[in-house]
Amino acid sequence: MRSLYLSFISEFYKSRKTLAFWAAIILPVVICGLIAFGYYTNSTKILKYNYAGMMLWYRYSSASLNVMGMLILPFYVMFMAFSVNNIEHKNDTWKTLFSQPLNKFAIYAAKYLYAVMLLLICVLLFPLLTYVSGHLLQVLIPKYTFNDYSPVVLLSRFYGKLFLASMGILSIQFVLSLIWADFLKPMGIGFIGTIAGMITANVGWKYAYLIPYCDPALALRAAKGTKNTRPEDLPIFTQEVWVSLIFAVALFIIGYFILLKRNIK
Amino acid sequence: MSRFAIETVGLNHHFGSQTVIKDLALQIPKGSIYGFLGPNGAGKTTTIKLLLNLLQSSSDTIFIFGKELNSNRTACLRQMGSLVEQPAIYAHLTGKENLVNRCILLGIDKRKATEMLALVGLTEAANKKAGKYSLGMKQRLGIALALIADPELLLLDEPTNGLDPNGIIEIRNLMVELTSKHGKTILVSSHLLAEIERTATHVGIINKGALLFQGTINELHELSKPAIKIEVDDHATAANILTRNGAEIVSEKEGTINITYTGKANMGNFNSLLVKNGVTVYSIAPEKNDLEHLFLAITSKN
């Protein structure tokens, strides 16, 4: 446990100045900022629709959710999983890392958990910033109906589901980046996977949920169905979330055995 | 308790079908500076990686302070500090941050980082990005990283690589100080015998994965006793005469005999003895078999 803790802190220390870490913060700030700016400058147009509180929150949060789930999140996950491992590939530091008196599993698990934490930061900041910016818009434009409804359940369910549905992609990309030092192989496979996921999700293929790259988009699609139902009724553990989690656990274990059997160059 | 800091028994390693380490039996006494010598590609770095458990080895082949490495990996590594090949440092972090990161990993006081920077003369460059360091500075930082946990055993793979003459002397002095004052054991690899000769107490010579010599530096010097090279017309008769008169034949081949040098007077006596017995002496001269030649001779035989 101590090895895991020390390795995790070290992961944070060495990557706190890298783009992978800052992207987890910058990405939600930029996307939520742009959407809030759009809602501020186009307020007269939006106010014409006379949305009730819940529907306004739904529309407002969907704007960032759709951009995120479909394209940005899979690409961020790929980039981040690559970055966490590339810091060792690039500096040729695997040999130093594994010659420390630390348990091999702890070093590996700390890296994986750090990647999960970055994803979590990114996915947590979205609802937080959506919530804060919605209330800020309410102050700036009092005619908005953001105050009429508490979006906490809606936002936490949407983003919670998105986070769990992204775990499959994260684990695949993590293991690919662990095996290959170069940028093209993991990114190329991830890119093809994402495109294939988007296509199969859009054409409504029956088994699309079995492709982890499909799962965030499918999870969001299920969320869209809540437009006319209460957000509390949105099921979180749907089949695409289970597939994503099963992939995550399986690849986490496979990744460790690959590492264990591999000679450190 | 083993008297060896490192002991390997029948250590082998393969890269695919190629055998890179053959039946290696290292015995590195505690408190020694063990010069691990060999030409490029001899298997020095592979051996060091095996000792650090970076490469897989069979069980019961590597023992660190008497403990089997595979089943006591963490305990063994806790006693070791290492610098393998080029120093592995995070280029985007400063020199000090690299050391602080290591302190975090090892769970030791972060103030140790400042102390180490001073030890290797990098205090002024502490806040400079390590990626912008010169090769020599990177090497110093690598040594500081190896020393930071105050390990009992240091594995240094060509530590003076890229250092200027002053830097080389400092590292040499540091190694001597660490062993003599602090009782550490150091395995230092090099392809240059001259560099090892000045500091090492023990030497191991490896080539093509096999250990060709292992012993104290004095035992190595013994092998390099000066010789007299004599060129004659009939080496068999000459060898016979010389042996009967107490000369120690080192080697002989068609037309040339090498005997142990025992002084100028003896060399003159051997000359006249040969001439008197009808052997034509074309040349006779002392030949200093220095360690560098000996090293080449040992490694080229393999």
Closest-CA distance of chain B to residue A27, Å? 22
- The reported pLDDT for the residue numbered A147 is 87
Task: Please provide the distance, in angstroms rounded to a whole number, between the alpha carbons at the two ends of chain A.
Answer: 27
Closest-CA distance of chain A to residue B3, Å? 23
- Cβ proximity of A55 and A144 under 8 Å: no
Residues B200 and B280 in one domain: no
CB contact under 8 A, B104 and A10: yes
Residues B207 and B237 in one domain: no
- pLDDT, tens only, A62-89: 888 887 777 788 888 999 999 999 999 9
d(CA A4, CA B261): 64
Residues of chain B with pLDDT under 50: none
- Cβ proximity of B260 and B223 under 8 Å: no
- pLDDT, tens only, A143-185: 888 888 888 888 898 899 889 999 999 999 999 999 988 889 9
Above 80 in pLDDT, residue A265?
A: no
Contacts of B77 in chain A (CB under 8 A): 99-101
Taking every pair of C-alpha atoms in chain B, what is the biggest distance, in angstroms? 79
Closest Cβ opposite residue A91 in set B52, B88, B106: B88
- Interhelix angle B111-119/B135-147, rounded to 10 degrees, is 130
Residues B149 and B247 in one domain: no
Residues B18 and B121 in one domain: yes
- pLDDT, tens only, A242-258: 999 999 999 999 999 99
User: Is any Cβ of chain A less than 8 angstroms from the Cβ of B17?
Assistant: no
Task: Please provide the distance, in angstroms rounded to a whole number, between the alpha carbons at the two ends of chain B.
Answer: 35
- pLDDT, tens only, A99-132: 999 989 999 999 999 999 999 999 999 999 999 9
Residues B204 and B244 in one domain: no
Closest Cβ opposite residue B91 in set A9, A91, A96: A91
User: In CATH, what number is assigned to the domain containing residue B277?
Assistant: 3.30.70.980
Torsion of CA A68, A71, A74, A75, to 10 degrees: -110
Closest Cβ opposite residue B101 in set A14, A101, A264: A14
CB contact under 8 A, B105 and A100: yes
User: Is any Cβ of chain A less than 8 angstroms from the Cβ of B145?
Assistant: yes
CB contact under 8 A, A95 and B90: no
Residues B46 and B64 in one domain: yes
Which of A209 and B10 is assigned the larger pLDDT? B10
- The reported pLDDT for the residue numbered B301 is 60
- pLDDT, tens only, A33-51: 999 999 999 888 888 888 8
Q: Which of A126, A131, A151, A130 is nearest to A73 (CA)?
A: A126
Range of the domain at B272: 224-301
DSSP string, chain A: -HHHHHHHHHHHHHHTTSHHHHHHHHHHHHHHHHHHHHHHHTHHHHHTT---HHHHHHHHHHHHHHHIIIIIHHHHHHHHHHHHHHHHHHHT-HHHHTTSSS-HHHHHHHHHHHHHHHHHHHHHHHHHHHHHHHHHHHHHSTTS-GGGS--HHHHHHHHHHHHHHHHHHHHHHHHHHHH--SSHHHHHHHHHHHHHHHHHHHHT-TTGGGSGGGHHHHHHHHHHGGGGS-GGG--SS-HHHHHHHHHHHHHHHHHHHHHHHSPP-
- The reported pLDDT for the residue numbered B41 is 85
Contacts of A90 in chain B (CB under 8 A): 91
- The reported pLDDT for the residue numbered B105 is 93
- The reported pLDDT for the residue numbered B175 is 87
User: Is any Cβ of chain A less than 8 angstroms from the Cβ of B110?
Assistant: no
CB contact under 8 A, A96 and B145: yes
- Cβ proximity of B243 and B252 under 8 Å: no
CB contact under 8 A, B88 and A92: yes
d(CA B248, CA B257): 10
**What is the total count of domains within chain B?**
2
Q: Which of A11, A39, A207, A22 is nearest to A134 (CA)?
A: A39
The encoded tokens of residue B193 equal 């015998």
Residues B292 and B211 in one domain: no
Residues B211 and B245 in one domain: no
Closest-CA distance of chain B to residue A124, Å? 27
Contacts of B84 in chain A (CB under 8 A): 95-96, 99
Chains A and B form CB pairs within 8 A to the count of: 73
- pLDDT, tens only, B231-270: 999 888 888 998 888 888 887 888 888 888 878 888 898 8
Residues B17 and B135 in one domain: yes
- pLDDT, tens only, A216-234: 888 777 666 555 567 667 7
Residues 6+ apart with CB under 8 A from B73: A104, B53
CB contact under 8 A, A17 and B92: yes
Q: Work out the mean pLDDT of chain A and round it to a whole number.
A: 88
The encoded tokens of residue A179 equal 């095996």
- Comparing alpha-carbon positions, the chain A residue that sits nearest to B131 is A91
- Of B215, B250, B272, the residue at which a domain comes to its end is B215
Contacts of B107 in chain A (CB under 8 A): 2, 6
Residues B29 and B159 in one domain: yes
User: Is any Cβ of chain A less than 8 angstroms from the Cβ of B55?
Assistant: yes
CB contact under 8 A, A95 and B53: no
User: Is any Cβ of chain A less than 8 angstroms from the Cβ of B100?
Assistant: yes
- Comparing alpha-carbon positions, the chain A residue that sits nearest to B77 is A101
- Comparing alpha-carbon positions, the chain A residue that sits nearest to B94 is A14
- The reported pLDDT for the residue numbered A198 is 83
Closest Cβ opposite residue B104 in set A6, A18, A95: A6
Domain limits, chain A:
2-260
- Of B155, B180, B215, the residue at which a domain comes to its end is B215
- Cβ proximity of A103 and A154 under 8 Å: no
User: Is any Cβ of chain A less than 8 angstroms from the Cβ of B104?
Assistant: yes
d(CA B141, CA B128): 12
Residues B149 and B263 in one domain: no
Above 90 in pLDDT, residue A52?
A: no
Interface list for chain A against chain B, based on CB atoms closer than 8 Å: 2, 6-7, 9-10, 13-14, 17-18, 87, 90-93, 95-96, 98-104, 261, 263-264
Q: Which of A213, A56, A72, A70 is nearest to A145 (CA)?
A: A56
- Side chain identity, residue A23: A
CB contact under 8 A, B77 and A103: no
* Mutant choice from A83, A95, A97 vs B, greatest count of B C-beta within 10 A: A95
Closest Cβ opposite residue A99 in set B77, B86, B93: B77
User: In CATH, what number is assigned to the domain containing residue B202?
Assistant: 3.40.50.300
Residues B174 and B243 in one domain: no
